[in-house]
Amino acid sequence: MDRKGSRLRPQPPARATLLLLGFTLAACSAASPAPQETQPSITDAPPTTTAREAEAGCLPIHDPRPTPSADLFQQPDRITTYLDQGGSLEGLLHLAQESRLLPDFPNALRGVFTDLDGDQRADVAFSLRTQDAGDSLQRPGSLFLWLCRDDGYYLQELLLPESAHDAPVLFGADDLTGDGPGELVFGRPSCGAHTCFLELGILQWNGEAFIDRWSGSSEDLPTPSVSVHPAGPGSSGSVAVTSGGVQSVGAGPPRPRTRVWSWDPSPQQFLPGPDVLSDPVFRIHVVHDADASFEAADYDRAADLYRRALDGRALLDWDASPASPPRLMAYVHYRFVLLALTRDGEAAARASYNAMVEASMGVPEADDYVTMARLLVESPAAFDLPVVCAVVREFAADHQAQILDPLYYGHDNRIYTADDLCPLKE
């Protein structure tokens, strides 16, 4: 679905069945700090209403205030009536949690209580899961939006459940665009046996409906952690998503990467920036960075990173067959020889090769990498790098098990081919 500027489906008040659905409510009091009973998982309301007013809802309340019960979740008009009568939002959320209807996700909010449509009255949002998802890994649900109007709460719009996703979760309702009211940051989780993903969106009120202002996809970021950064003086807000990597042994060592979506007023969209990798913790990731620098002809940075890979005592090794630390160290020595031949010439390459031979004595795992390095410095075409690289690539392809397989660190990491081991071509 094209999500740029997409509108949510309008709903009349107190209709469509709420059974098995999650929803968002919009409360109607003027903005204020959240009441003392509010849990930390609920965002603060704007700072103008008293605690009692914040709990009161859109209309004057009459004692006794209603007590939440499970039958409220059968139809949305029951929720509307409950809130209009001054029912406690916190009590409603607590009951939903006890009934195992609230979706759960790291850093997600149980609900929000803030102005979402710019009328200076606090709105409320939360979701519920379905009560029975059968054998599905997901627990679908819906997100409803009730807005406060002069005559009470109004069921404005809803996000329908999707069988491929869990019920929507909320991450914030801060002002991200600098226009005053909050934007609702939500996500649709989908989880497998080991790893979860999120389809994120940001809802903004345009005066008539809520529009999804999110551009691009976040579902290529496994094990996501979401952080919301409100707009500040002279700066727009942003949403950062940090991927923790695929959480399975076959994926190999994880390396977090972060992508930030920032508000761009021209297209009226939150646009993604480039992925930024975290500083390496595992030795193999330093090697990956070094190889990438070599391929970009940033030879000085490549040399620094190869040296760090050899000498970094704090770096972690991933010792899971076919990968092995001795073979990785031998590969780094080989890259030093290739780097020297490329940047500094034949004499420097021979000196680097001699150092490799000395460091590899008594290390049988290094033998094939030493042979590959010898092809670099002893080939009659040593000064013709594309020609000698072709020889090296052929040798690597013929010795897949000894050279390429040990560089396999799981399907979530770089996978080397013979071309990668000597990438200089005509």
| pLDDT tens track for 262-320 | 999 999 999 999 999 999 999 999 999 999 999 999 999 999 999 999 999 999 999 88
Alpha helix (H) residue ranges in 256-324: 283-295, 299-311
* pLDDT of the residue at 49: 34
The reported pLDDT for the residue numbered 136 is 58
Q: What is the pLDDT of residue 58?
A: 64
For residue 252, is it left (φ>0), alpha (ψ between -120 and 50) or beta?
A: left
> pLDDT value at position 417?
97
* pLDDT at residue number 132: 66
pLDDT-flagged residues of the chain (< 70): 1-62, 132-137, 157, 381-383
The pLDDT of residue 170 is 94
Residues 6+ apart with CB under 8 A from 244: 222, 223, 224, 225, 254, 256
Is residue 270 within 8 A of residue 284, CB to CB? The reply is no
pLDDT, tens only, 229-266? 999 988 889 999 999 999 888 899 999 999 999 999 99
The H-or-E segment that residue 397 falls in is helix 385-398
Task: Measure the CA–CA gap between 294 and 245, rounded to whole angstroms.
Answer: 25
Are the beta carbons of 253 and 318 closer than 8 angstroms? yes
pLDDT computed for residue 216 by the predictor: 96
* Whole-number Å distance between alpha carbons of 202 and 239: 9
- The pLDDT value recorded for residue 323 is 85
Q: How far apart are the first and last CA of the chain?
A: 44
